[in-house]
Amino acid sequence: MYIRTLMALAALFSMVATSAPAHAAKVSEWRFQSGKDFNVGTLSGLALNDEGIVFVAPGLKRTEINADLIHCWARDGDTLWLGTGLSSKVFTLKAGKVKEVAKIGGALVGSLVTDGKGGVYAGTVGRGKIMHVSAAGKVSELIRLKGVQYIWALVRRGDKLYAGTGKGGGVFEVDLDSKKSRLYAETAAEHVLALIEDKGALVAATSDAATLVRIEGPNQARAIAGFPGREVRSVVRHGDALYATVNGGDSAATWSRLRPTSTRPGGKSKSKVLRKKKRSKSRRRGGSGAVWVVHDDGRLNRLMVSPNGMLSQIGSTASTLIAGSSRDGRVMVANLGGSVTSLFDLDEVQVLGVDTTGGRLQSIFTGRGASVYQVKGRAKSPLFTTEALKETGLTRWGRIDVKGSGKLVVETRSGFSNPPSDTWSTWKPTDDGHSQSPAATYLQVRVRFDSDDARLHQLRIFRRPLNRRPKITSLTTKHYAKNKTVKVRWSSRDADADKLGYVITYRKVGTKQWLKLHDRWYLKTSMTLSPKDMPDAWYELRVEVSDARQNPQAEALRSAQISAPFLVDQGRPQIKARVSGGQIKGVATDGTSRIARVVVSINGNPPMHARAKDGIFDSLSERFSYALPAAAKTGKVTLLIQATDEAGNTGVLRLPYGK
């Protein structure tokens, strides 16, 4: 996995070369009180432990290196040797001064080890060569290992050099005097990524088998631990145990998902070399990292899980383990009980190495922006800054409560864009704990640590969005003639999600006074009117929506909408008629709604439509006529005349005719 990441990076460079919206009346808060919360913000010169406490970190002096990444390093007294990529240059850093010493060829410098004479041996990636760089910068080829492409690790023991290689996963011994080599041990892995001396033996960290292999002598390799991952990136001795960074697969999975490996921790395989294992799909996923512990008595346990992805090199101090994250620029410290502190949050994406020579953290090495960070003194201007915190509307900012110790100074600024720009307000300190930033939709808070003993445990930011006016979005009325009712329906919207109440009133069209239809707040969004006591007329209805149920009286807002006019008509049309010249002639009149039709029935026969004098029934008063058939002109008949208005009311006139 680590190798694939490096190769992908090489290809890239070769081508390039906590909080829900609040209701309007409700005071809400953003709260920072855990490591997850504070990690969302920016920790500048600050450390964060797994209890969620932020404190002042050691100081860092950054030195840029003219390379893409620092892949390996070696310390010789006060001189740091640096192996880089992707141009395979070797640099030195001494007394703050950087010097390019040599270019050794290949994709990158895979490994470095001092030669005891002021120079270094350098293993190459892509060529399988071990080069020698003298103190004066002279470059010479020591040896080319047969069948080897990658030299990931070098260990020097007297006049012998040991190389961890790939592909093939062999450990080679090189005699420095004769410049001859031999295959010293096989690990049954594809790559040996790290190699250390340990109690007279060598310990190899491998990929893709994710094992630790102990090498007691020539052809004496024994697997001492197998991990549920894809690679062991590095290993270090601390006390009575080995500590290893393991990446990929289930290395950081929950305990319920962890499965036994084919070789039990501390056990012996059937042969002296661990057989290769078939990887499951879960182990091919990658992307996570953890620190595992292999005790000398064979016990195996996981010390910590990286919350931010894969881990690179691990180092040890007197009482802690230090590991770098190769994905988010963090340097983490774990004590032997597993308590984790995020010590540094660097601008570079990759932390590829840590120097703990002498039992203390001295330097940090990065990629994707090759830099050396030397750890010195106290961080300058330590500062925690939140991200731009967003509300859904214009918001008033309240108290900023800080729980901590030492001297902590809180400042805020606000604006209407993300990320913050020059249009934001300036940073202002709080006044008696209250934000002095103007109302806006975004707020940013920063906390200055103005004393060495300052510690931040919790940050609570109170806010109250300014109220926004609710609106009626639709209003309809429908008249049902059959049961003489009017159905009113409406819908509303409130951007603050406040609880709403309604006031329903009505009036005759053309008048001014609105009459209320209910007491208290009306809470439904429909109403059925049965206007039995309302005089016949055209009416309009007004629906008013208010958020006063959830806001102080002085801040409550309301709006209203008036319906289209609707008719209340319960009176029947009046009919006057006579028979003259074999025709019925008459007039139908209604005081409120137009005459819709007039029909005539003779002696109970089916009714027949009369004709409007002007050809259309469309007025409050309509003259009509109906020609009697010949049979009705002789004898005595009963005429039944019915006039119906548009509200469905029907007036009836019985008219006897004949002798």
Comparing CA positions, the residue from 187, 186, 172, 296 lying closest to residue 232 is: 187
- Same domain membership, residue 288 and residue 205: yes
Which of 109-123, 179-193, 469-483 is least confident?
469-483
CATH number, residue 79: 2.120.10.30
Dihedral sign (CA 511, 517, 518, 520): negative
Measure the CA–CA gap between 353 and 326, rounded to whole angstroms.
Answer: 9
- Residue 632 scores a pLDDT above 60: yes
- Same domain membership, residue 223 and residue 297: yes
pLDDT digits (tens, 9 = 90+) for 343-373: 888 888 899 999 999 999 999 999 988 999 9
- Same domain membership, residue 206 and residue 276: yes
- Same domain membership, residue 135 and residue 108: yes
Q: Which residue's structure tokens are 């709260």?
A: 31
Bridge partners (DSSP) of residue 389 are: 443
Q: If residue 197 lies in a helix (H) or strand (E), which one and from where to where?
A: strand 191-198
- Residue 16 scores a pLDDT above 80: no
What mean pLDDT value characterizes the chain?
A: 88
Question: Residue 1 domain-assigned?
Answer: no
- Same domain membership, residue 73 and residue 30: no
- Residue 258 scores a pLDDT above 80: no
Region 195-210 average pLDDT? 95
Identify the pLDDT of residue 307. Answer: 66
Region 235-253 average pLDDT? 88
- Same domain membership, residue 416 and residue 437: yes
Write down the pTM of the prediction. Answer: 0.65
Measure the CA–CA gap between 174 and 143, rounded to whole angstroms.
Answer: 8
- Residue 1 scores a pLDDT above 90: no
- Same domain membership, residue 475 and residue 564: yes
Last residue of a domain, one of 465, 490, 524: 465
Largest CA distance in the chain: 151
- Residue 6 scores a pLDDT above 70: no
- Same domain membership, residue 578 and residue 545: no
Q: Determine what percent of the chain is predicted with pLDDT higher than 90.
A: 69
The boundaries of the domain holding residue 643 are: 574-657
Measure the CA–CA gap between 128 and 112, rounded to whole angstroms.
Answer: 14
- In which band, very low, low, confident or very high, does the pLDDT at 262 lie, cut at 50, 70 and 90? very low
- Residue 442 scores a pLDDT above 70: yes
Identify the pLDDT of residue 21. Answer: 46
- Same domain membership, residue 208 and residue 175: no
Helices (H) and strands (E) in the chain, counts: 3, 54
Region 224-252 average pLDDT? 91
Secondary structure (DSSP) of 260-321: --SS-TT---SSSSPPP-PPPHHHHS---EEEEEEETTS-EEEEEE-TTS-EEEEEE-SSEE
For residues 493-526, one letter each, b for 16 or more C-beta atoms within 10 angstroms of the residue's C-beta and e for the rest, the string is ebebbbebbbbbbbbbeeeeebeeeeeeebeebe
- In which band, very low, low, confident or very high, does the pLDDT at 272 lie, cut at 50, 70 and 90? very low
Question: Residue 263 domain-assigned?
Answer: yes
More confident site: 482 or 337: 337
Which of 38-52, 261-275, 416-430 is least confident?
261-275
- The contacts of residue 412 (CB under 8 Å, 6+ apart) are 397, 400, 427, 428, 430, 435, 436, 437, 443, 444, 445, 446
Question: Residue 371 domain-assigned?
Answer: no
For the chain, how many structural domains are there in total?
5
Last residue of a domain, one of 399, 432, 465: 465
Give the number of C-alpha atoms closer than 13 A to the C-alpha of residue 320, restricted to the C-beta side.
15
Identify the pLDDT of residue 265. Answer: 31
- In which band, very low, low, confident or very high, does the pLDDT at 287 lie, cut at 50, 70 and 90? low
CATH number, residue 516: 2.60.40.10
Last residue of a domain, one of 186, 218, 247: 186
- Same domain membership, residue 103 and residue 24: no
pLDDT digits (tens, 9 = 90+) for 172-183: 999 999 999 999
pLDDT digits (tens, 9 = 90+) for 386-425: 999 999 889 999 999 999 999 999 999 999 999 999 999 9
Cα R_g (the chain), whole angstroms: 44
- Same domain membership, residue 530 and residue 623: no
- Same domain membership, residue 234 and residue 180: no
